[in-house]
Amino acid sequence: MTPPKLGVTLYSFTPYFHARQYTFEDLIRIVGERGLGPGLEVVGFQSIKGFPRLPDGFAARFRRLVDDAGLELSCLGANADAGLRQDRLLTEDELVEYMLAQLEAARTLGFPVVRVQHSVTPDLMERLLPHAERLDLTLGMEIHSPHSVGHPKIQALLERYERLGSPRLGFIPDWGASLTQLPPSLLRTYRDKGVPDELLTAFRDQWNAFHAEPLIMDDAEQGARFRRMREINERLGGDDVSVRIGTNSVGLFGHMDPADWKQIMPWVVHVHGKFYDIDADGAEPSAPHDILLRDLVDAGYQGYISTEWEGWHWNETDDPFAMVAAQHRLSERVFASLAAS
């Protein structure tokens, strides 16, 4: 059995980077030194000022730095900024042009895979395909909460992929779409910040109630869930801080069955190993790694899993490097037990 390759997205270290505590170059070096690769994923609009324009000589310096750190480029996170303008969404032609500039940057930087987002429709994906071929890139549509494999947008892409039959188009599962419960550290952190237990319990109960309902199939249902959480916040005397617990729970923590990723497994070109907590037993309490990794291994997936720690949205005490390292240890333990069984 050849397991998937591990790696990390620098997004995991956002609090340090945003605080100007570590530069982009520092982070690459540290990922190498601490053995958090080999796969390296970067969000273009985060790490590179002026992206998708690249300063002269930047790409060569970047590739040397990655080589020196003993890392391998896994995926460039592009953004489908359909809402670039205030007055209207971009037209299809504008969005193709916007994505194409990022594809060119990915090629120049040496990334094999580009993450795209759901404003790119099946038609636009098809229009980008010849460019992916020309630039030797694979395009992966991220499946992120509140979407799921059965969402009409994803199903429409899947149909198009099957018709086009190109290995250069695929999906990037984000494990945040298939959580089994709210991250325990979320509730703990806000309890420590003084948010009343009654409100925290109400948010949790509402998330659990959503969990028992059918998955979101359109944006109107998502809007209704945002409103439901805001109502709970108001009814129980919450403020503009506590409301985020509720609204983030709709936006970040999806309700898909983790075993349902199997439905799109042949089309997986990269994985976002999104996680929030590591418990006392070294397990992830909300993202069942035994199931998530088992199904990737069973499908023979040998690409990268980019560890993506997002607990920093509320957790300001745990060190992101240590969290990523702990998730890698968990992944390696699961791989070892799968190999032994």
Residues that bind another protein (CB under 8 A): 11, 14-15, 17-20, 43, 45-46, 49-51, 79-86, 89, 117, 119, 219-220, 222-223, 240, 251, 313
Is 255 annotated as catalytic?
no
| Residue 322 CB, nearest approach to another protein (Å) | 20
CB of 80 or CB of 125, closer to another protein: 80
| Residue 240 CB, nearest approach to another protein (Å) | 6
**Backbone phi, psi, residue 73, to 5°:** -75, 130
Q: Pairing state of beta strands 39-43 and 5-9?
A: parallel
CB of 81 or CB of 126, closer to another protein: 81
CB 37 within 8 A of CB 71: yes
- Compute the distance between CA of residue 2 and CA of residue 168 in angstroms, rounded to an integer: 22
Query: Per the residue annotation, which of 118, 144, 289, 313 is the catalytic one?
Result: 144
CB of 11 or CB of 207, closer to another protein: 11
| Residue 93 CB, nearest approach to another protein (Å) | 16
CB 146 within 8 A of CB 154: no
Q: Pairing state of beta strands 169-173 and 138-143?
A: parallel
| Residue 12 CB, nearest approach to another protein (Å) | 11
CB of 126 or CB of 221, closer to another protein: 221
CB 39 within 8 A of CB 331: no
DSSP letter assigned to residue 174: B
CB of 117 or CB of 263, closer to another protein: 117
CA distances from 7 to 21, 31, 319 (A): 22, 9, 17
178, β-bridge pairs: 255
| Residue 117 CB, nearest approach to another protein (Å) | 5
Burial 293-320 (b: 16+ CB within 10 A, else e): bbbbbeeebebbbbbbbbbbebbeeeeb
Pair of tokens at residue 175? 């494990």
Q: Which residues are catalytic?
A: 144
